[in-house]
Structure 1
Amino acid sequence: MTDVLLHLATTAEWRSHLAAGAIAPSVAEFVHLSTPGQVALPANRLFAGRTDLNLLVLDPSRIGVEVRYEPGLPTDPASMRFPHAYGAVPACAVLAVVPYRGADGFAAPVLPPVDAAGRQAVLEPSFLRRTATHETPVTGGVAVRTDPVPASHRHNRLLVDGPADAATVAADAGRTGLTRATLTGDRHASTAAALARAGWQVHPLVGMAGPAGGTRGRTEVVDVETLRPVWDAQWRRDGVDEAVLAQLTDRLLLEGRVLDLRALAVRVDGEVVASAVLRIDGATAELDAVEVGPAHRGRGHGDTLLADARAIAAGAGCDLVTLTADADDHPRSWYRRRGFAEVNRLWEVTRPD
């Protein structure tokens, strides 16, 4: 890809950039950037062995300051010119955050497309990898394990987006001791079908994307802890074991350390009647956990929450809001009627006991 530029940042640095709203020049008077073909050189020089590094994938048209192509260090190839951004680069110029691991040295990266499908596909695996305490390579992807929240299936699973057949997925699950995997992309339809025949539980999903924008209404951005009692009540209705309830909110606190996570609430007479989670990661946001209380459904609260989430995302500089919906449930068509397009296919698969 020659139509993007890259900036290297640790997970902690990126979270700091998000809080500030921009990537500011550090020691030099410019922000160091690279092309995809160059980035391995400064990564190996500055971050050798690091396992918390990320590639911030930038849209050059959104950088907003002058970019000059200039020599790097005297030891760099004489013909190589690095892009330097002379001024702060807005965080909303970042289309995707791609984990970049260099335990054995950094190689030229494989970058996702930066269309709606690519941005939707990369966001969740990216923040799960940044949140995880352990990451293990597997065929076609990685396995993540997040020690503080072992009961969270989302944070302890295989994330597979490259080629992998059913036997390989099963073997990697056994090797890592994990029982679940997410398979992303059309290529995995046959893998999911084969796992279903082998007794795995297979749950088809669709990745969806729509534009940010609009005017914000009465949805509040609240502290995660404010919604803990609301979510606990919801999960109790769903039959979640009392012993794991705390972890289901605690995992959001962990995510808030690696991206801009906002808990959303709609109140009526002081009571929270609808809630959601909005994750903001540069120019892309993900809407998740949209829930309207059983006694308050059919009154437009879901529409209020969705419209306001899109407005809040736009206010943070996002141009795209993504989400994941069950392929076989009515929210899929509900979101479609509200301007969300289906851009990806996914399967959540669970190993038989």
Structure 2
Amino acid sequence: MSVLLHLCTSGEWRAALDAGALRPPGPFVHLSRPEQVHLPAQRLFPGRRDLVLLVVDPARLTDPVVDEPGVAGDPGGMRFPHLYGPLPTSAVVAVVPHRPPVPPVLPEPGDALGRALALSLSLPVRRAPDVRDVPGGVAVRDPRFPHSYDNNRLLLGSPVDAGTVAAAAADLSVPAALLSWPGAAAVAAELATSGWEATELLVMTRPTHPPLPGGERAEVLAEPQVRAFRTEAWRRDLPAGLPDRDEVVAQLVGREPLTGTVVAVHEVAVRDGGRVVAAGQLRVDGATAAIEAVETEPAARGRGAADAVLARLVRLAADAGCDLVVLEADAADWPRHWYARRGFAVAGSVWEMARRQAGGATQASSR
């Protein structure tokens, strides 16, 4: 494996995203090869399972990397790569949770699907106040937002059977699951026959270059400036007869600032007469960025507003040092074709599962 690793706290990484680099506390940033990282982890953070591993592409480093001895107690002759300079966030192709003894999945720099999955699986873990190990992955739970699937679900990256998924969800009282291993379609289909709703999401990726044309109409706004737009969008999307609909909408909108505590979040919008009529969100996590929630209000559709938002999002990702943008699109809905015409290619798929309530309805979802 060609990547190098750096172990740090989620807070240290979030600060580095703002600064553009993680700076060494001394003369160098201590890096490890995958087979070595357990040694500094045990020495510096014994028993900790709330850390992250930065997956570094050494080809993107401009300062010298020197193999040097570690400390007394390391195996004889072992040498570690030391970066003599700051670690640019643009050299970090993925950020994955460090939860020993579970081995981390470390994508290679050129593995677009692996990088996309690393972001979709690790961001909820970094954001959650409660993370539990389950067969095939973890469960994340946040009692502040019980109506949000994104904050309360199983995140499963390794194969398990349908019964195991159902049992883990019931045991931990989570209403949803994300199945992201190859061949998960069969498990999704089996769950769909026993009280679950299955949605295939296509993982679509695009390089940040070449840029998309346009974008001049779109502007970067603060999250409170798009809150009213998001609130109305959720009201349109959720069933009118949904129990506690106002509370559901409030939770789905209110959870948004939490994401910005673990990755860099940018809100982009097009305004007409001062009012937001289209918006989208960019989540930057090192060299990988995720596009979320591109939407135009019905009365403003067909005028290029979403194109302007998307173009500005891709440009922002490039300006942040990202070489890859990723998103998830419903395999059964038209936006997948809209994204494909703008250079996004399908790299794979995942399955979003939601437990049905009595009477066949699903709980309010929250993508």
The reply to whether residue 24 of structure 1 matches residue 23 of structure 2 is yes
How far residue 123 of structure 1 moved from its aligned partner, in angstroms, is 0.5
Q: Give the superposition deviation at 1:161.
A: 1.2
Letter of the structure 1 residue corresponding to residue 349 of structure 2: R
Aligned equivalent of 1:270: 274
Q: How does 1:232-251 map to 2 (within 5 A)?
A: 232-239=231-238, 241-251=245-255
Separation in structure 1 between the aligned mates of residue 280 and residue 49 of structure 2, nearest angstrom: 31
3-state SS in 2 of match to 1:186:
coil
More displaced stretch, 316-325 vs 193-202: 193-202
Q: Contact 2:268–2:312 at 8 Å: present in 1 too?
A: no
Query: Does residue 1:339 correspond to 2:334, yes or no?
Result: no
| Cα separation, 1, equivalents of 2:127 and 2:253 | 14
* CA distance in structure 2 between the partners assigned to 1:239 and 1:202 by the alignment: 17
Equivalent residue of 1:318, what SS?
coil
Query: How far is the alpha carbon of 1:7 from its aligned partner?
Result: 0.5
Q: 1:250: Cα distance to partner?
A: 2.4
Q: 1:302 corresponds to which letter in structure 2?
A: A
Aligned to 1:164: 160
Counterpart CA distance in 2 for 1:110 and 1:248 is 30
Match of residue 69 from structure 1: 67
On the 8 A contact 1:185/1:346 being kept in 2, the answer is yes
CA contact (8 A) 2:124 2:140 kept: yes
> Which of 177, 182, 185 is the equivalent residue of 1:186?
182
Query: Which residue of structure 2 lines up, in the alignment, with residue 82 of structure 1?
Result: 80
Map Cα deviations across residues 225-280 of structure 1 (whole Å, 9 max, x no partner). 11111111111222361113232222221110001011111112322111011100
Give the aligned residue type for 1:33: L
Deviations 1:17-39 (A, max 9, x none): 1111001011x200110000100
TM-score by length of 2: 0.92
Determine if the alignment matches structure 1 residue 149 to structure 2 residue 145: yes
C-alpha deviation, 1:325, in angstroms: 0.2
Shift of 1:323: 0.1
**Pairwise mapping of residues 204-223 of structure 1 onto structure 2 (< 5 A)?**
204-213=200-209, 214=211, 217-223=216-222
Instruction: Report sequence identity in percent.
Output: 49
Matched, 1:132 2:136: no
- Any stretches of 5+ residues in structure 2 without a counterpart? 240-244, 358-367
After TM superposition, the runs of 4+ consecutive aligned structure 1 residues lying more than 4 A away are none
CA offset digits 1:303-335 (Å, max 9, x no partner) = 111111110100000010000000000101111
Letter in 2 for 1:86: Y
- Any conservation in 2 of the 1:69–1:81 contact (CA below 8 Å)? yes
**Structure 2 Cα separation of the partners of residues 61 and 219 of structure 1:** 34
Query: Offset of 1:108 from its aligned partner?
Result: 5.5
- Structure 1: gaps spanning 5 or more residues: none
Q: 1:112 maps to which residue?
A: 107
Cross-structure match for 1:252: 256
> What amino acid is aligned across from residue 225 of structure 2 in structure 1?
T
State the one-letter code of the partner of 2:322.
C
Q: If the length of structure 1 is used for normalisation, what is the TM-score? A: 0.95
CA contact (8 A) 1:184 1:344 kept: no
Opposite residue 223 of structure 2, the aligned amino acid is V
- 1:279 counterpart = 2:277: no
Secondary structure in structure 2 of the residue aligned to 1:78: coil
Counterpart residue number, 2:45: 47
State the shift of 1:128 in Å.
0.5
How many residues were matched structurally? 348
Alignment pair present for 1:294 and 2:295: no
Give the aligned partner of residue 331 of structure 2: 327
CA distance in structure 1 between the aligned counterparts of 2:218 and 2:47, rounded to whole angstroms? 44
Partner residue in 2 for 1:9: 8
The residue type equivalent to 1:212 in the other structure is: T
Answer with 109-118 or 269-278: which moved more.
109-118
Change (3 A) 1:253 1:134: same
Q: Distance in 2 between matches of 1:335 and 1:259?
A: 24
What is the SS of the residue equivalent to 2:310?
helix
Counterpart residue type for residue 184 of structure 2: H
How far apart, in 2, do the equivalents of 1:182 and 1:110 lie?
A: 16
Q: 1:197 to 1:108 in 2, by over 3 A?
A: closer
